[in-house]
Amino acid sequence: MKERGFTRIGFILAAAGSAVGLGNIWKFPYVTGEYGGGAFVLIYLATLALVGLPLLLAEMTTGSLSRKEPVSAYEDLSPEGKRYWRFAGLKLFTGFLILTFYTVVIGWIFYYLFISLTHLPATPEEATALFMGMLQEDASTQIFFHAMAMLIIGAIVYRGVKAGIERINLVLMPALIGLLLFLFFYAMGLEAFGEAVAFMFAADFSRLSGEAVMVAVGQAFFSLSIGMAVLMTYGAFVDKKTRLPGAALTVGAMDTAIALIAGVVIFAFLFQLGMEPAQSVGMAFISLPAAFYQFGAAGHLLAAVFFLALAFAGITSAISILEPSVAHLNQRYRMNRAKATWGTVLVAYLLGLLVLLSNLKGFEWLSLGERNLFSWFDFLTAAVFLPLGGLLMAIFVGFITDRERYFHQLHEHGLSRSAFNLWIAALRYMVPLGVVGAIAAKVLGLI
């Protein structure tokens, strides 16, 4: 049974919906903070152009050439008798693993949406106690909101690409942009706005380091949703009239613009109250709620808008991570869509439950070495599997498959021969360089 595909705008918003996620609003600002602001932003932009965008285009084009789910797409485009496609399963597995912990975080966001409206913490100490209390002691709250996240995501994906994924993105993406712009305009009125902009854009090159470059590569992969067949899967449903190079650029630009806006907003609120750019989860779930509290009644509204934006960003990304597995089961094993969706959701839910429990006191047995399950899944996917998935894509298009087919397709979409050659060169040399460096840096514990 052939599913109906995306419209042009539907494809762009769905791909942007996948890219714009918790990585933009929650992760990008804090890594920027940690690695020195403007200098990091510059490296990130360079990485995006040299490694991120070429891969984004490779994934979209591969999907659109085969019009099949990811494993079959690799199989179709492999030279006769070669079995490279067997590696494609790794990508589906990576997406599945990300889904398990990503939905746990979406659960926290739902809970904080509720907190925003009821009882914001008054001080950073109170905020820390609230977050750590939820994380390490409050199983039932987390289980409730995590289940809610899974149900919402399943309910969207099971309706299909057009009636589910496209439709929700057409609503949530403009809403997300509206919410962020609201926060941005509010932040513009704060005294610390200028300081926040300076922090994000004034490049201090003395802080430039090899490590920062590697973090930028990892962040670009995660943020653009590359390396796990998500954009391949969406690409398989693309409308014939969609021009892929333009689509890839638009998605990359939207993803970056939203990360930058989120960064300025977050730093403006933190600096306004004299707070430091905090680290990791701390920024969204600890520092910011305490900062919002200081704004009195308006603070509740600001917090609710912020967490609603995070929820929208998270949901549109999570559905994109679920879709490849569903498309795989549906197309390759002829499982009907409802069964494929709810089956995958159930397994991801159960595994996610273990991930969730691994943060709780009393569940130390869900740890191995220094890391618990949550941290292992996060580390393995972001540090190892995602870059490997990207490398696989780059090698496949750069060296293995019939490149003339790609040229033919992209030429029809307006790409010149020399731009095409540049693109292939980026896939052959820049991507492997970036990936090997990124993996080495992460595994060696630099990040």
User: Between residue 72 and residue 111, which ones bind ligand PFF under the rule CB under 6 A?
Assistant: 95, 98
Residue 187 CB, nearest approach to ligand PFF (Å): 21
341 binds ligand PFF (CB under 6 A): no
Which residue in 277, 256, 257, 258 sits closest to 268, CA to CA? 277
For 253, the token pair is 């630009």
23 binds ligand PFF (CB under 6 A): yes
In the set 120, 212, 214, 230, which binds ligand PFF (CB under 6 A)?
Answer: 230
For 155, the token pair is 């309910």
Closer residue to ligand PFF, CB minimum distance, 19 or 179: 19
Rounded Cα distance, 396 and 194, in Å: 45
The 260-299 contact track toward ligand PFF, x by CB under 6 A, reads: ----------------------------------------
Closer residue to ligand PFF, CB minimum distance, 108 or 222: 222
How many helices (H) and strands (E) the chain has is answered by 23, 2
Rounded Cα distance, 380 and 90, in Å: 12
Could you tell me if 101 and 374 are in contact, meaning their C-beta atoms sit under 8 angstroms apart?
yes
Could you tell me if 74 and 88 are in contact, meaning their C-beta atoms sit under 8 angstroms apart?
yes
Closer residue to ligand PFF, CB minimum distance, 156 or 228: 228
In the set 22, 135, 254, 260, which binds ligand PFF (CB under 6 A)?
Answer: 22
For helices 8-19 and 244-272, what crossing angle results, to 10°? 40
For 246, the token pair is 């333009």
Closer residue to ligand PFF, CB minimum distance, 65 or 231: 231
SS3 content of the chain, % helix, strand, coil (to 5): 80, 0, 20
User: Between residue 299 and residue 318, which ones bind ligand PFF under the rule CB under 6 A?
Assistant: 317
Closer residue to ligand PFF, CB minimum distance, 51 or 415: 51
Residue 78 CB, nearest approach to ligand PFF (Å): 22
Using the contact rule CB under 6 A, the part of the chain among 17-25, 109-117, 152-160, 292-300 near ligand PFF is 17-25
Which residue in 261, 313, 269 sits closest to 32, CA to CA? 261
Q: How many residues does the chain have?
A: 447
Rounded Cα distance, 412 and 414, in Å: 5
The 187-226 contact track toward ligand PFF, x by CB under 6 A, reads: -----------------------------------xx-x-
Binding site for ligand PFF (CB under 6 A): 18-19, 21-24, 95, 98, 222-223, 225, 228, 230, 317, 320-321
